[in-house]
Amino acid sequence: MDDDLQLLRSWHGGDKAAGNELFTRHFAALRRFFRNKVAAEDGQDLVQRTLLETVRSSPTFRGDSSFRTFLFTIARRELCHHIRRKHRKIDQAEVDLTVSSVIDLGLSPSAFAANQQAHERILAAMQSIPVDFQITLELHYWEQLDAADIAAVLEIAPGTVRTRLHRAREALRARLVELDAGHGESGADLEASLTQAALVL
């Protein structure tokens, strides 16, 4: 049995040490998931909400996917709930995360230190593409989830992931061209920059 799954079941049964172990293992990945999308204080709250919802939902988890897939599926749902709660206060229209970016939605992602400027360009560009594109790139490049796991998190058909990744990279590349006043970036450079950007989060 997956060690994470065993810890989850133990936590659901009241074992606080198992909960602490799960939190320790996955806190950095969850913080990274939320950090480039919401304000720092909201990110902390969303990490906590995700972990609590994970243990609450554990009886429904059959183990068909990895624990990390289960965790990021819940994290994305918590992010969607958060965005919709914030957005409803301003506008009654339904939010479409395949179209709207965190900037479009008026969110305030965490700021980064000045000495991390080399990666800020990528992170800023990611904040201006549709949220589900941003999540797709992060799960692929930062969390090394495979196509089946990404499909499960995004609740799309597995065969759609390759197209989603392509469209996400193209949207990011176009945004980088705008930010750089017309200077493009090769595919290899873009992939390297995406991978390295996770190191500052």
Rounded to 5 degrees, what angle do the CA atoms 137, 104, 183 make? 60
What pLDDT is attached to residue 183? 53
Q: Read off the pLDDT of residues 185-198 as tens digits, 9 standing for 90 and up.
A: 555 577 877 877 76
Among 118, 144, 117, 135, which residue's Cα sits nearest to residue 172? 135
Per-residue pLDDT of the chain (201 residues; tens, 9 = 90+): 468 888 888 888 888 898 889 889 999 999 999 998 998 889 999 999 998 898 888 888 877 788 899 999 999 999 999 988 877 655 556 677 788 888 877 776 765 433 345 577 888 889 999 999 999 999 999 999 999 999 999 999 999 999 999 999 999 999 888 877 555 555 557 787 787 776 666
Among 5, 127, 128, which residue's Cα sits nearest to residue 57? 5
High-pLDDT (> 90) share of the chain, %: 43
Cβ neighbours of 19 (radius 10 Å): 19
What pLDDT is attached to residue 34? 94
- For residues 68 and 80, give the distance between their C-alpha atoms in angstroms, rounded to a whole number: 18
- For residues 117 and 112, give the distance between their C-alpha atoms in angstroms, rounded to a whole number: 8
What pLDDT is attached to residue 102? 81
Q: How many CA atoms lie within 13 A of 53 on its CB side?
A: 17
What pLDDT is attached to residue 186? 54
Q: Which domain range does residue 81 map to?
A: 3-200
Q: What is the CATH number of the domain that holds 63?
A: 1.10.1740.10
Q: Read off the pLDDT of residues 94-138 as tens digits, 9 standing for 90 and up.
A: 677 788 888 877 776 765 433 345 577 888 889 999 999 999 999
The domain tally of the chain equals: 1
- Token pair listed for 199: 């190191």
What pLDDT is attached to residue 112? 47
Residue 11 backbone class (left: φ over 0; alpha: ψ -120 to 50; beta: rest)? alpha
What pLDDT is attached to residue 143? 93
